[in-house]
Every structure is written in structure tokens, then in C-alpha cells.
Amino acid sequence: MAAARCEKAGFDGVEIHGAHGYLICQFLGTETNRRDDRWGGPLENRARFLLNIIDRIRQLTSESFLVGVRISPEYNQIGVVMEDSLDLVDLLAESEIDFLHISCWDCFIPPTHSDDPRMVTEILAERLANRLPLISCGAAWSTKHAQQIMGQGADLVGVARAAIGHSDWASHLDNLDYDPQRPPYTTEHLHSEGLGEKFIEYMRNWKDFVE
């Protein structure tokens, strides 16, 4: 299994990608999972695929090997909704993972289909109740953004676009006024940050990221 090979290669852990509409996320979604057996229907069944992956990784790796899970709390187009994600948090907290990573796309907007006006991170952090370390990711650009996300209850802040555009992003967070340039970026700038041509071409798929 891939996780066992990662440990053999010297990695400290793996993160299971259960977000963004990929296979695990499709099992969790009510629109994509139409099965009528033990793998579909109620959340406990739809989450079985993910939970079995966790169990199998734990069987094949050492106790010190870190295992985390990334989920999309909401992915409405395939039927992943906040209500189910809150229950999934409980299932994951009872499993043998070391951290939970939530992909919010934008940590500063409330859930799409919920009467709760709070941000997604705050809602899930309350449900998690410190049972696992929580990473939250989505639209963090500045030091103040990172502080706000941690104020919502995250233990760690995940970044993608900001770190792609500024590979030294984390080293600036001791500056409370740090607020780096946003996209679009020139190809010259991206080359200077260490991106190769194929990665730059891929990033053209993201609207207004590359000039």
C-alpha cells in the first residue's frame, strides 16, 4: 500500500485526501453514492470506505507514523453537506487518525446551507472539541488572516495559493502587517519562486492566477 511505501521511504506520515470531489469524497456524497449496500445510504455506510482505508493504513504502518484526513465540509454539487460533516467529525475523532484537515475554500464565509452564521472552521472546531488537532485551509493570505483562522479554532493554518506565489510565506508571519501580493502572477515571478513550466501551465487552470 502507498502509505507503507511512504513510511519505508522515510516520510513521517500521510494525509488521506477525502476532499474536493475525488473518490473518497464521492463515497461521502449523497448525490454520487447511490449504493444500496453497506457502502451507501446512511453516513455510517458512506464513511465506511474512508474508515476502512484508515484502519488498513494503521495495520501496515508503525504507531509513530502520522495519519491525517482532509475533507471538504461542504461540497454541495455531490451532496456533501455540513450536517453530515459534523457527524463525520465524530466518526473520525473516534478513529485512529492524528489530525483532521478541512478544506473550506474560503475560511471567511459561513456555510452555504446552514442557519448557523459562524464560519465553517468555528463550527467544526466546536464539534471536534479538541479531540484532534485541526488544520483549516482557505483564502489565507496575510498574517492577520492566519490569526483569524486560528481564532476560529484551528490549531494550524493550511495554505496553497499563497505559498505557491510566495514560497517563503511562512517566514514572514512574525510581521503582523505581512500581506503579500495576490494573483495574477507573471510567469517570471512564478519561475523565481521555483515553479517549473508544467506546474505553471497547470496553474493557468485557476482563473486569474497566471498573467
C-alpha cell at 5: 511505501
Mean pLDDT computed over 153-157: 99
- 180 within domain boundaries: no
Whether the Cβ atoms of residue 158 and residue 99 lie closer than 8 Å to each other = no
Mean pLDDT computed over 132-147: 99
Residue 42: the pLDDT is 98
- 174 within domain boundaries: no
- 166 within domain boundaries: no
Whether the Cβ atoms of residue 180 and residue 166 lie closer than 8 Å to each other = yes
* Segment 170-198, tens digit of pLDDT: 999 999 999 999 999 999 999 999 999 99
- 191 within domain boundaries: no
- 189 within domain boundaries: no
Residue 100: the pLDDT is 99
Written as one string, the DSSP assignment of 61-114 is S-TTSEEEEEE-S-BGGGTB-HHHHHHHHHHHHTTT-SEEEEE-S-TTS--SS-
Give the C-alpha separation, 104 to 101, whole Å: 10
Identify whether 185 is a catalytic site residue. no
Work out the percent of the chain whose per-residue pLDDT is above 90. Answer: 98
* Segment 98-128, tens digit of pLDDT: 999 999 999 999 999 888 999 999 999 999 9
Mean pLDDT computed over 68-72: 99
Pairing of strands 66-71, 99-103: parallel
Task: Supply the CATH number for residue 80's domain.
Answer: 3.20.20.70
- 102 within domain boundaries: yes
- 30 within domain boundaries: yes
Residue 151: the pLDDT is 99
Q: How many of the other CB atoms lie within 10 Å of CB of 179?
A: 13
Mean pLDDT of the chain: 98
Domain count, the chain: 1
With residues binned 3-state (H G I as helix, E B as strand, rest as coil), the percentages for the chain, rounded to 5, are 40, 15, 45
The range of the structural domain enclosing residue 37 comes to: 2-160
- 44 within domain boundaries: yes
CA atoms within 13 A on the CB side of 81: 9
Give the C-alpha separation, 182 to 161, whole Å: 9
